[in-house]
Amino acid sequence: MAYPQLLSWYRQNKRTLPFRGVQDPYAIWVSEIMLQQTRTETVAGYYLRFLSRFPDVAALAGASEQEVLKLWEGLGYYSRARNLHRAARLILSEHNGRFPRTYEAVRALPGIGDYTAAAICSIAYRLPYTAIDGNLTRVISRVHDIQEDVGIPSVQRRIRQLAEENIDRQNPGDWNQALMDIGASICVPGTPDCARCPLRDQCEAYRQDDADLLPVRAAAKPPLPGDVGVALITCGGHILLQQRDAAMLRGLWVFVLNEGNNTREGMEKKLKSMGMRALFSADLGDARHVFTHRIWNMRLYHFTAPAAAPVKGGRWVDAEALAALPLPTAMKTARQLAMELLKEE
Ligand code: SF4
């Protein structure tokens, strides 16, 4: 093990998180899936609520997808929740409800990639797999002063090899978590806090004084902006929602959207094409939501319908159902306005 102070530092300094010290592979799995793309502070509350509602694989497998999505509401990247649910059902049907115990079987579950399989197996089963995510990549690229773009596959392989050479085979879970903590709180992007770092004696970037330039990464493409019209269509204390079947936000409920055009005329045309009879009532202003690859520049409109006619993939809901169904964060402003409209009706 070439990072000699790492584990003793971890024992004294590890972050106290609700999912730390947990050995149950199911709970580790849930936390690791939530932690992908989401800040640790945000995950803590969601994790506790999720585990209290679905304490084990059987409870998760027995729930409806809508219930799982509702508990996930606000965390984003909803395919994670759908995959968790699908994987729980697979564990029940193909593994007799027992969480798989080998890396290959864990890795084969939906939504589990190399990182998550390694995290689960190293923490729950002490198998010596390195959990390489953005944090580990940054720390290792600095300790070994890697000057090439870490997005290149051969550079990624080198980082993995260096991690594998240095992992503690007795305590692989602690080793991975120690590096995760260092990456999250000390060896942060930009200027790292080397004075507090247990890897300083081994760190080549510290010695070369170039840590703030690492890791080298090609610039990410900025998210693409697009206009989206949003229609809040009310009728007698009910409002129209549609369930998404597009890959993005699939399974979640949204108001009637006109993607690519946020003008009132565009929305009126869209409603006509749906066979909807609805009268324009008010322009409710703008809202904006930034996804990883897209930005929705939304304009919100209120329409009233003379009758709650059936709409493909749609449901007319009252205020209570509107609060209970899973809606993406992009609909937050629209939902607040919809609640006010329903109160007035
Ligand atoms: S010494 Fe500095 S650059 Fe090197 S791993 Fe530690 S925090 Fe990162």
Pocket test for ligand 1, best of 143, 209, 216 (most atoms within 8 A of CB): 143
Atom nearest to 182 CA in ligand 1: 7
Task: Compute mean pLDDT per 10 residues along the chain, 345 residues long, and list them.
Answer: 88 92 96 92 95 98 97 94 98 97 98 97 98 96 97 96 96 96 96 97 96 93 96 97 92 97 98 95 98 96 96 96 96 98 90
Among 194, 190, 196, 193, smallest CA distance to 212 is for 190
Give the separation between CA 95 and CA 100, rounded to whole angstroms: 7
Residues 345, 236 contacting (CB under 8 angstroms):
yes
Q: Per-domain residue ranges for the chain?
A: 6-213, 226-344
Residue with the smallest CA separation from ligand 1 atom 2 is 194
Q: What is the largest CA-CA distance in the chain?
A: 74
- Tell me, using a 6 A CB cutoff, whether residue 322 lines ligand 1: no
- Does the beta carbon of 194 lie inside 6 Å of ligand 1? yes
Annotated catalytic residue, options 32, 94, 165, 268 = 32
How far apart, in whole angstroms, are the C-alpha atoms of residue 335 and residue 314?
Answer: 16
| Residues 200, 305 contacting (CB under 8 angstroms) | no
Q: How far is the CA of 124 from the centre of ligand 1 (A)?
A: 28
Q: What class, spelled out in words, does domain 226-344 have in CATH?
A: alpha beta
Give 145 Cα–ligand 1 centroid separation in angstroms: 10
Note if 268 is an active site residue.
no
pTM, 2 dp: 0.84
Give yes or no for residue 211 CB within 6 A of ligand 1: yes
What pLDDT does 220 receive? 82
Is residue 187 in contact with ligand 1, taking CB distance under 6 Å? yes
CA of 142 to the centre of ligand 1 (A): 6
Cα Rg of the chain, angstroms: 24
The whole-number pLDDT of residue 247 equals: 85
Confidence (pLDDT) at 209: 95
| Architecture of the structural domain at 6-213 | Orthogonal Bundle (1.10)
What is the spatial distance between Cα 136 and Cα 222, in angstroms, rounded to a whole number? 24
Q: Is the CB of 295 under 6 A from ligand 1?
A: no
Task: Tell how far the Cα of 182 is from the centroid of ligand 1, in angstroms.
Answer: 8
Pocket perturbation via mutation, ligand 1, pick of 193, 194, 213 by most ligand atoms within 8 A of CB: 194
What pLDDT digit, counting tens, does each position of 181-196 carry? Answer: 999 999 999 999 999 9
Residue 266, classified by CB atoms within 10 Å of its CB into exposed (0-12), middle (13-18) or buried (19+), is: middle
Model confidence over 191-245: pLDDT tens digits?
999 999 999 999 999 999 999 999 999 988 899 999 999 999 999 999 999 999 9
> Considering only CA atoms, which residue is closest to atom 4 of ligand 1?
203
Token readout for 262 is 């946020």
CA distance linking residue 242 with residue 276, whole number of Å: 13
pLDDT given at position 143: 98
12 CA from centroid of ligand 1 (Å): 18
